[in-house]
Amino acid sequence: MSDPVPVTTLPPAVVVDRLTRNFGTFTAVDQVSFNVSPGEIFGFLGANGAGKTTTIRMLCGLLLPTSGNATVHGNDIYTQPNRIKACIGYMSQRFSLYEDLTVRENIQFYGGIYGLRRETIMQKTTELLQELDLVDKADQLTGALPLGWKQRLALSTSLLHDPPLLFLDEPTSGVDPQSRRRFWLLIHRLAAEGKTIFVTTHYMDEAEYCHRISIMAQGRLVELDTPSALRDKYDCDTMQEVFLRTVSGSPSL
């Protein structure tokens, strides 16, 4: 079960106001609005094609909206995409690191991509290998690692420049249950340290670990609340039941 929603007087980490994205005549994201608080684990749920990844790409400064507005740590998605990229970490749903490099080499390579100084890269490499329990695998080829370890490595590269906000797009897809549990323990530790976590998942049991849950359906935001409040609202025992009832036409925001 998740911890209570963090209480803070700081400005929202993410502000989304009627964000919309069309591809031709198809509306992938339809006037979506929400805020995310600093230190919050914000779950972004929805079936394939619901608009989750499109929304994340817009918030990461990778895709311009058709209309609407959003800021990420105070940076405007239209005019300050480079500042957004500097203050976020992004982990895609598909493993995108170099499998013919070792774990250590991948971390050091991405440190260079982020423009970190050599001394900082060496220090960060040591810290991340220890923090993510990858020391014994530091000099193994990445391609030889089990998927759960690869996901840890992908997370480590997104943390190299110490961003205050992480976008995790289905980070545990295809990972065994034990590895998923370890991954979520790490996510909660990062949130406890003050990082904001914006995460998508298809595993409804993982939704229970989020402070708040938003549910997308056909490009629209149809629910937004804590897991316990949503279970109470729909008189359900699990988030799986809530999700099925919500996307099948239950009351929307």
pLDDT: which is higher, 107 or 9: 107
The pLDDT value recorded for residue 24 is: 95
What percentage of residues in the chain have a pLDDT greater than 90? 60
pLDDT score for 1: 52
Write out the E strands in 25-80. 26-36, 41-46, 67-72, 75-76
Give the pLDDT of residue 237: 93
30: CB partners within 8 A, 6+ apart: 20, 51, 218, 219, 220
Which pLDDT tens digit goes with each residue over 64-116?
A: 999 999 999 999 999 999 999 999 999 887 767 889 999 999 999 988 888 88
Q: What was the pLDDT predicted at 156?
A: 83
pLDDT band at 7 (very low <50, low <70, confident <90, very high): low
Separation CA 152–CA 178 (nearest Å):
13
Q: What is the pTM of this model?
A: 0.87
Over the stretch 183-198, which tens digit does the pLDDT of each residue have?
888 899 999 999 999 9
Residue 4, Cβ neighbours under 10 Å: how many? 8
Looking at residue 149, its pLDDT comes to 82
Query: Left if phi > 0, otherwise alpha if psi is -120 to 50, otherwise beta: which for 144?
Result: alpha
* CATH 3.90.1150.10 given to domain 14-247: no
The CA–CA distances, whole Å, from 98 to 1, 16, 101, 103, 143 equal 35, 33, 6, 9, 8
Question: What pLDDT, in 10s, does the model give residues 27-76?
Answer: 999 999 999 999 999 999 998 889 998 999 999 999 999 999 999 999 99
- In this structure, which amino acid lies at residue 114? Y
Task: Look over the chain and give the mean of its residue pLDDT values, rounded to a whole number.
Answer: 89
* Residue 3, pLDDT score: 61
Name the percent of the chain lying above pLDDT 70: 94
